[in-house]
Structure 1
Amino acid sequence: MSLLLMTSLLVMAVPGTATAQESSNESFAGAHVDFAVDGNAITDFSVAGEQTFSDVRVQSQSDAGFGGDIDLRTMMGIDGAGLSLAAQTQTSATISTQSGAEVSAHDTQQGHLVVSAGGSSQIVEADLASDASASVEGDTVVVDSGEREGAFIVVGDGEVAVNEDGNVAADLSSDAKLVFRSYAEGERDEQAKAEEALIANGSAAAELAVEQRDGEIVSETVTYSEETTTEVSTETKNQVEVTIDRSVSEGTVVLTTVSEEAVGSVENLSVAVDGEAAAEASTMSELEAGAAGEEPRYMVTSTNEAQGEATVAVAIDHFSERTMTMSGEDADDSEGDSSIPGADSLPGFGPIAALFGLLTAVGARLR
């Protein structure tokens, strides 16, 4: 089965460090994601300053008294298991639960929130913020909070729905995950929905977020498959190198959103796998064929000029460990290419220098 590793190169924040004394009311404040952990719930979950959920609760199905089929529409007001902020880094936070589930929040522009069921079945209820609403779209639940739109996706055996209170309810079998991704207004287009489908059907292994902050490159991985690890290196200017290690041999499609701060330019991107240039695909089916074993391929799926970023899908044909490199031509380096001092700073001097060189060459041939 082909798998998808999606990487987005985004700006990350430096949250404060929680202390043991804050266990009853701990918080995370990043560049994009803010929330608190209070008793049995994650509270005031916000993305880009806009509150999406008033609280998110997780509880094992057995402790909640559920068995067999669950009617998610009538599942409301669960108690939730005790939560604690187990760890946080510059770009993420991990919340442990007494039910055995794990919740991870990732400080990305998409405000990723992932509930991993662990070894036992879990139920989840996300109460929406006062101005938010939820609706069912196929197997996905879409949350509209005004300036942002988000989607809940189940990876593995489970279901997500809208209950009679208008909130989001989900049940997860063991080892399943509930994933939330948030988008700025108008960004959840058909391509974004295709990405959600790839996550939901198990083809998505992870998303890797990398971008420059305060002159430094930072990275964050959102993991959907425990079989995959990634490591980012940016030692070369205008180039990002990602080492992807998988414990299974099947290929993967890597969806990467890159910022021009990280790669120099998003207009002239090049992609290589293990040092060899990847072929360009014109359709998603061509791209996925690359992951099935034909050859490494890539496709630029979208470009956001306002934010200076582009999304590139890269198909890698087999594993265990592969290296993917993305780079862009730096406009500052590609203009004014002349050996004449000061040519870069003179308007129109580049073409004049080129003409001068041509005339010199013609003169030499005549002589």
Structure 2
Amino acid sequence: MKIQSAALMALLLIVSSTVPIGAAAATTQQGEAYVGTHVEFETASDAIVDYTVNGETMLQSVQVQSQSTAESRGDVRAGVGLSAVTELTGAALSLDSQTEVSATITAESGATMHAHDNSKGILVVRSGGESQYVTVNVSSSSQAENEGEKRVIVTTEDGTKGAFIVVGDGEVTVNEQGDVSANVGSDGTLVFRSYPEGRDDNDQQEEQLISEGKAAAEVYVMESSEEGRELAADVVQYSEDTTVEVTQKTEGTVTMTAERSQEQGKIIITSVSEQAISSVENLQVTVDGEAAAEASSYSELESAINNGDSSKFLVRQQSSAQASADVLVAVNHFSTREITMSEDGSGSDGSDGTEADGTDGSDGDGDQTTTDGQGPGFGPVVTLIALVAVAALALARRR
């Protein structure tokens, strides 16, 4: 009888040991972790820590607090310059949701932070309608430099660069301790992009478009990390009144629906993997079924969104190491527009292989939550629980 009890106890221990760490951490809302294909980080009670992109730790910690709370607590003295803001009592954080391509962290101050598991490891901090301070500690071996009021460039010890960009109301600067501080207005956003393969003039042009509010969103169509799903889509939203959903992503064709509450045109930056678009030499782009002209410069893109007669696109071939290309589409006007990119134009009507369920796309910040009810890693747990029940029943009958 003791042997049977010991066996039953062993099975129970096996079951308890198979519960995912993330599931246990979710009950405490502290010490949670996100591990994606490109991005990894943890959340302490009041900070994102060890924000890593493609194996390189880019940010040691990120804290956020509402300006009203920070000033009332004395963390920030009224009237001092932003560079003097070096330490905050960060707002409590909670890792609210995770998908295959993103994670959403909410702060008690009202801010939200969206981490995007794409090749640039983009982190977006939204103010949530109330002005916020953000402080970022970079490692002691990293260097931070100002590029105007809207950008700070961080360079790690091995030369990897990252850019902080303010969109809308706010500013970002290198503070007195050599780290990064930002104030983000009630309608502002702070964006971080990293460049594992190097930062070039084209990257700076994209940063400028984002900072000036001309680029409304950034879309990544890339190889999926989940078995049985060939392509994944991640949407990074920079303009709150613009949403983009990837509705089709088959080999050779990518289709998106972009919706905007204002008529003014915007640019949508897309990064397509070689698996999605193997060659851009004969790339065709249509907007609502009409062919967009290929632009030869960024200024042509900007002209297209400023009362242009037609939409245009610009192709940026990435390095061979990334095996991807950036396609910037300047949509000349809105409300709802369908954008299709295809190698030969065959998928321009969006009817070939269209994925109607939308589960592989995402909302404006790529933070669509999973709906399977179990989450990864729970299949073996359910199986073991069933085995325990069978074993217990067998023991009872033998008695």
Instruction: Tell me the TM-score range normalised by the shorter chain.
Output: 0.7 to 0.9
Partner of 1:217: 231
Distance 1:41 1:29 in 2: 17
Asked if structure 2 preserves the Cα contact closer than 8 Å seen for 1:208 and 1:222, the reply is yes
Partner of 1:100: 110
Partner of 2:44: 38
Question: Structure 1 residue 206: deviation in Å?
Answer: 1.3
Distance 1:132 1:328 in 2: 41
Match of 2:302 among 288, 301, 319: 288
Give yes or no for the alignment of 1:268 onto 2:279: no
Asked if structure 2 preserves the Cα contact closer than 8 Å seen for 1:208 and 1:220, the reply is yes
Instruction: Provide closer, same or farther for how the CA distance between residues 249 and 64 of structure 1 changes in structure 2, counting only shifts above 3 A.
Output: same
Question: Structure 1 residue 22: deviation in Å?
Answer: 4.1
- Summarize deviations over 1:266-325 as a string: whole Å, max 9, x none: 333221111222112122222222222321111213332332211222111111111111
Asked if structure 2 preserves the Cα contact closer than 8 Å seen for 1:300 and 1:313, the reply is yes
Asked if structure 1 preserves the Cα contact closer than 8 Å seen for 2:250 and 2:276, the reply is no
Partner of 1:191: 202
Using the size of structure 1 for normalisation, the TM-score is 0.81
RMSD (Å) for aligned C-alpha atoms: 2.0
Match of 2:268 among 254, 271, 281: 254
Asked if structure 2 preserves the Cα contact closer than 8 Å seen for 1:209 and 1:221, the reply is yes
- Summarize deviations over 1:147-177 as a string: whole Å, max 9, x none: 4200001111111111111110111121211
Percent of pairs identical after alignment?
47
Question: Structure 1 residue 62: deviation in Å?
Answer: 1.4
- Residues 22-101 of structure 1: pairs in structure 2 closer than 5 A: 22-65=28-71, 66=76, 69-101=79-111
Instruction: Provide closer, same or farther for how the CA distance between residues 240 and 204 of structure 1 changes in structure 2, counting only shifts above 3 A.
Output: same
Asked if structure 1 preserves the Cα contact closer than 8 Å seen for 2:249 and 2:276, the reply is no
- Summarize deviations over 1:51-81 as a string: whole Å, max 9, x none: 1111111011111114754412221121111
SS at match of 1:262: coil
Partner AA of 2:309 in structure 1 = E
Using the size of structure 2 for normalisation, the TM-score is 0.75
Distance 1:43 1:216 in 2: 31
Asked if structure 2 preserves the Cα contact closer than 8 Å seen for 1:259 and 1:266, the reply is no
Give yes or no for the alignment of 1:307 onto 2:322: yes
Partner AA of 2:32 in structure 1 = E
Question: Structure 1 residue 113: deviation in Å?
Answer: 0.7
Unaligned runs of 5+ in 1: 1-14, 331-367
Q: Which runs of 4+ in 1 moved over 3 A?
A: 15-19, 66-70
Instruction: Provide closer, same or farther for how the CA distance between residues 279 and 128 of structure 1 changes in structure 2, counting only shifts above 3 A.
Output: same
Distance 1:18 1:269 in 2: 44
Decide which moves more: 128-137 or 90-99: 128-137
Asked if structure 1 preserves the Cα contact closer than 8 Å seen for 2:215 and 2:269, the reply is no
Asked if structure 2 preserves the Cα contact closer than 8 Å seen for 1:198 and 1:204, the reply is yes
Instruction: Provide closer, same or farther for how the CA distance between residues 16 and 203 of structure 1 changes in structure 2, counting only shifts above 3 A.
Output: farther
Unaligned runs of 5+ in 2: 1-19, 346-399
Asked if structure 1 preserves the Cα contact closer than 8 Å seen for 2:217 and 2:269, the reply is no
Question: Structure 1 residue 185: deviation in Å?
Answer: 4.1
Distance 1:99 1:170 in 2: 15
Distance 1:69 1:202 in 2: 28
Give yes or no for the alignment of 1:163 onto 2:175: yes
Distance 2:80 2:128 in 1: 19
Asked if structure 1 preserves the Cα contact closer than 8 Å seen for 2:103 and 2:114, the reply is yes
SS at match of 1:263: coil
Distance 2:21 2:277 in 1: 29
Asked if structure 2 preserves the Cα contact closer than 8 Å seen for 1:44 and 1:51, the reply is yes
Give yes or no for the alignment of 1:324 onto 2:339: yes
Asked if structure 2 preserves the Cα contact closer than 8 Å seen for 1:217 and 1:234, the reply is no
Instruction: Provide closer, same or farther for how the CA distance between residues 18 and 132 of structure 1 changes in structure 2, counting only shifts above 3 A.
Output: farther
